[in-house]
Structure 1
Amino acid sequence: MQIEIDIEDPRWDALDLGARAQAAAAAVLADQGIAPEGVILSVLGCDDARIAELNAEFREKPLPTNVLSWPAEERGAADPGVAPAPPGPDVFGEIELGDIAIAYDTCAREAEAAGKSVHDHVTHLMVHGVLHLLGYDHIRDLDAQLMEAVEVRILAALGVENPYEI
């Protein structure tokens, strides 16, 4: 697996975003039965100002958010609550998943508000972002239930508690 990491905010260095992204992506791929060889994605570690710009540009929401993802291609399932089909390699043997941007400020603020470690929260958001690249979504209720269950299962394999339990 090849992950291109672009750190715009140096606070990400203390959290070792590259290692966290690698572990999260590997766990997602393993859970989904996708061999990591040839898988490509990129991760941008930024701050709230930058993610607000991206959110405004791509979603017309000029506010910061925790994580954004841009799948390389549409992979969602047509029917609600059905897992998307896993991507196959292209003619070069590669599976380009897409891009993820994650905002330090929002992640740290959300982790503190929830009383959990920023490391676990970032791991959760990276898992969430990679699942979006694979076609999972949470717009429809059945899709949200499926995505949440998959996240919880993957996070448990990584030793991270269920983030949805109150």
Structure 2
Amino acid sequence: MEPLVDCVIEDARWEGLGLEPLALRAASAVLAALGLPEQGFTLCVMGCDDARISVLNAEFRGKPVPTNVLSWPSELLAEGTPGVVPALPLAGDAAEPWSLGDIAISYDACAREAEAAGKPLADHVTHLVVHGVLHLLGYDHVDDADAALMEKHEVATLATLGVDDPY
């Protein structure tokens, strides 16, 4: 059986923070909050730095600057109507789990933002992984109704993890 989260560490600072257990805890909490089973899904989280995420941001979003987190869903689940909950995917089985997609997260951006906000780095990273997993599941923040729905799920999920409301 494949693990829920496969971590690819490109920057050793992520090892010291414990990205893999943080990402697993965050992804598991999102699935539980949405009533989805942990078994039957998988996703990949890449821990990188600003240089790497800048390249990815330029390539996929046309913005050659660092950002905190990027996500690539394996299937577009977003709803066309603003504020409507996306259709949730069906889980695969233990032998063939369904891939939710990939997330890249920059240590540099996360550390800067956490310091500026006066919050623990681990809490900020947990929030950004929750945010990324919700993107993989079709949530977005393109318009106000979608942003409100996504933020509601972020805040509720983070509360189950003992992380303060980031908004």
Task: Name the TM-score, length of structure 1 as normaliser.
Answer: 0.96
- Whether the 8 Å CA contact 2:39–2:91 is kept in 1: the answer is no
Could you list the runs of 5+ residues in structure 2 that have no partner in the other structure? none
Select between 147-156 and 92-101 the one with higher mean Cα deviation: 92-101
* Residue 37 of structure 2, aligned match among 35, 38, 43: 35
**Residue pairs, 1:2-151, within 5 angstroms:** 2-90=4-92, 94-151=97-154
Q: Output the aligned Cα RMSD.
A: 1.2
Count of residues in Structure 1 that have an aligned counterpart in Structure 2: 164
- Whether the 8 Å CA contact 2:41–2:92 is kept in 1: the answer is no
Secondary structure at 2:51 match in 1: helix
Could you list the runs of 5+ residues in structure 1 that have no partner in the other structure? none
Q: Letter of the aligned partner of 2:105 in structure 1?
A: I
How far residue 153 of structure 1 moved from its aligned partner, in angstroms, is 0.3
Q: Letter of the aligned partner of 1:51 in structure 2?
A: I
- Whether the 8 Å CA contact 2:40–2:92 is kept in 1: the answer is no
In structure 2, what is the Cα distance between the partners aligned to 1:144 and 1:21? 22
Secondary structure at 2:8 match in 1: strand
> Taking structure 1 as reference, are residues 33 and 93 closer, same or farther at Cα in structure 2, changes over 3 Å only?
farther
- Per-residue CA deviations over 1:26-76 (Å, capped at 9, x if unaligned) read 000000110011211001000000000000000000000000000001001
Q: Letter of the aligned partner of 2:69 in structure 1?
A: V
How far residue 94 of structure 1 moved from its aligned partner, in angstroms, is 2.3
Q: Letter of the aligned partner of 2:17 in structure 1?
A: L
- Provide the identity percentage: 60
Task: Name the TM-score, length of structure 2 as normaliser.
Answer: 0.95
Q: Letter of the aligned partner of 2:41 in structure 1?
A: V
1:162 aligned residue: 165
